[in-house]
A and B are shown apart, each in its own frame.
Chain A
Amino acid sequence: MKHTIRWALGGALTTLTGLAALLIVAMLAIILLDVLRGGAGHVTWTFLSEPPSDGMMGGGIFPALYGTAALTLLMTLAVMPVGVLTAVYLHEYAPPGSRLAAAVRVAVSNLAGVPSIVFGLFGLGFFIHFVGGSMDRLLGYQELHWAQPGILWASLTLAVLTLPVVIVSTEEALRAVPMDHRTASLALGATRSQTLARVVLPGALPGILTGAVLAVSRGAGEVAPILFTGAAYFLPDLPHTLNSQFMHLGYHTYVLATQSPDVEATQPLLYATVLVLLALTFALNLVAVLIRAHTRRRAAAAH
């Protein structure tokens, strides 16, 4: 009798944990379905290729798409070399038990936990006022040229934000390259840097790409760090210099959702914008998952 009760109670509680997992999946499904239902009918070619019109109540999102793409491209260019080389140091060059490597690891894990709005403050205080201000003084600009919000500063802020993502996934990729490949290369007389450039990095390339894709997906969705480092409410022109402001999909979503004069009229535009943003980040995440699955399968086959 007691035995039955124990099993029944256990079964019931197990079901409860299963329901918790189901709830998480259900919330995800609700979000996706709602966005899909509200936005699918409005994502048309004109929506994607035209600027907003009628005081944000008509038109499309082309400048926001362009701004997001330009921003994340600049960010990737800045973060990839630094992130990959840091991971190479941590996994390939740091002597075992190195104090520096331990300090870098602690710093990176803390960097990953810094709130995104604090990155925004950092971008404002460091990049715009300090670096930009110094550049203006050195280069002799009379009015503000670099010391104002712009796409370069926003992308560098995001690069600092996504640095931990790149470092962590690159290190994971380096760990997956078999040690034999390194020793074989060294035994054939290659130097350390030749081994790195011709054996280790090519072997880790899929993992490094995964890191890049994850960083782009994270960077494309973050709004808080770019609020005061360069995102603009509305711009008639596309950004064409490094210090011009830009429109951004995430910021556009925020603006449409909270600052619209006519909620009913903007709702379809809002849903369509969210749908594009979600599709973009999910597509990137999916690419990362696929690359990773492919590498794991190949690694499993090789052993």
Chain B
Amino acid sequence: MDRQVAMQGRGLVETATAAPRLSSAARRRQLREKVIAGIITAVAFTGIAALVLIMVFIAKEALALFLDAHAREEASLDKMFLPQVVRKGRPPAFVWQPVSGVPKVSMIPLFIGTLKTTLVSMMVAVPVGVAGALYVAEFAPRRLREVLKPVIELLAGIPSVVLGFFALMILATFMQENFGLTTRLNAVVAGLGLALAIVPVIFTVSEDALTAVPRSYREASLALGATPWETAWKVVLPAAAPGILAACVLGFGRAIGETMIVLMASGNAAIVSWNFADSVRSMSATIAAEMGEVVVGSPHYSLLFFIGVELFIFTFILNMVASTWARRVLERLTGAGA
């Protein structure tokens, strides 16, 4: 509808400017219009350029790992991803200790650390975020709904360093006192802190998907004798499922890349274990903690950029998946509603 009007508007411009004989003033004006349109189009490339430059320049700094002989020796792919014999007579292990006489550069402890904090945060944030969205979209009275939405979105406005502070000062103490965890800062505390950061993301995107479901779906279900809960659970939720999945994937991406919360509340010890009460060191926190002291151009420096490349690729894939799903639910629902 809008687009048609817009096209008509453009048609107007073209017929007006395509008049045969033009005065020099008109021609100058036409030229000026072209230049302005050109400038605006050129500026629009900035977004694409930024994304490409991010890719190129992070990859460029990481590339030394594969090109430079010294770096290739110190941090080969084998050393990053396969177990290494750290001390003679011990079984091979995964160790991250890039600053030592013999640097040990296994990525596995960092992967495990990231996975552990992310898992904890998802296990908390997905049920809470989706259930909250379901309540606000389906059950809440209109008044309450108009209060709840902005309040929950306010949570998204809290800087992550403040959430990290909260996890470090309050959550950690609370968990230690009530659950008797031996290490104060661990994967659970960091994961709960992360959950605070991604709940608003999951809530907002899920709520959008739920409200996009046409009213006729609900009316049909209720008319057939279903209770409001059955309508929400068996009709509205399945219809919005791809959007809700997209919300979870987006939240997952945010949790992987989030830095300050994990840096402050995870303890930052690169331990390989599946115990969630151990300290962990995530990929993002490793970059943040070690980049300050690293020698520019050293293998360690390239290694940190390589972690950045991995983070970029993970989140890029997750974002693409999420946006495809979110688009699909919109297309399906608007298509079915029309």
Contact = CB atoms under 8 A, between A and B. Distances in A.
Interface stretch (A44-52, A56-64, A275-283): A275-283
Chain B at the A interface: SS class: helix
B291 interface: yes
Interface stretch (A134-142, A203-211, A238-246, A253-261): A253-261
A31 B166 contact: yes
B33 A122 contact: no
Interface string A108-123: 1111111111111110
A299 to B, nearest CB: 15
A27 B200 CA distance: 12
Interface in B149-163: 150-152, 154-155, 157-163
A187 B43 contact: no
A85 B43 CA distance: 7
Interface stretch (B72-80, B91-99, B104-112, B224-232): B224-232
Interface residues of A, number: 94
Contacts of B46: 82, 86, 163
B150 to A, nearest CB: 6
For chain B, the bracket of interface size reads 35 or more
Contact of A21 (B9, B29, B61, B140): B140
A25 B316 contact: no
Contacts of B233: 13
A89 B311 contact: no
B312 A118 contact: yes
20 contacts: A10-B230, A14-B139, A28-B158, A88-B40, A89-B44, A107-B47, A110-B319, A114-B54, A114-B316, A115-B258, A121-B305, A125-B57, A129-B61, A192-B13, A192-B37, A220-B159, A224-B284, A251-B161, A258-B168, A282-B154
Interface of A: 6-7, 9-11, 13-14, 16-18, 20-21, 23-25, 27-28, 30-31, 34-35, 81-82, 85-86, 88-90, 93-96, 100-101, 103-104, 106-122, 124-126, 129-130, 160, 163-164, 167, 175, 179, 182-183, 186-187, 189, 191-193, 217, 220-224, 227-228, 250-251, 253-254, 257-258, 270, 274, 277-278, 281-282, 285, 289
The 10 A-B residue pairs with the shortest CB-CB distance in the complex, in nearest-first order: A115-B257, A221-B159, A10-B229, A20-B131, A89-B44, A17-B135, A113-B319, A21-B132, A224-B259, A85-B43
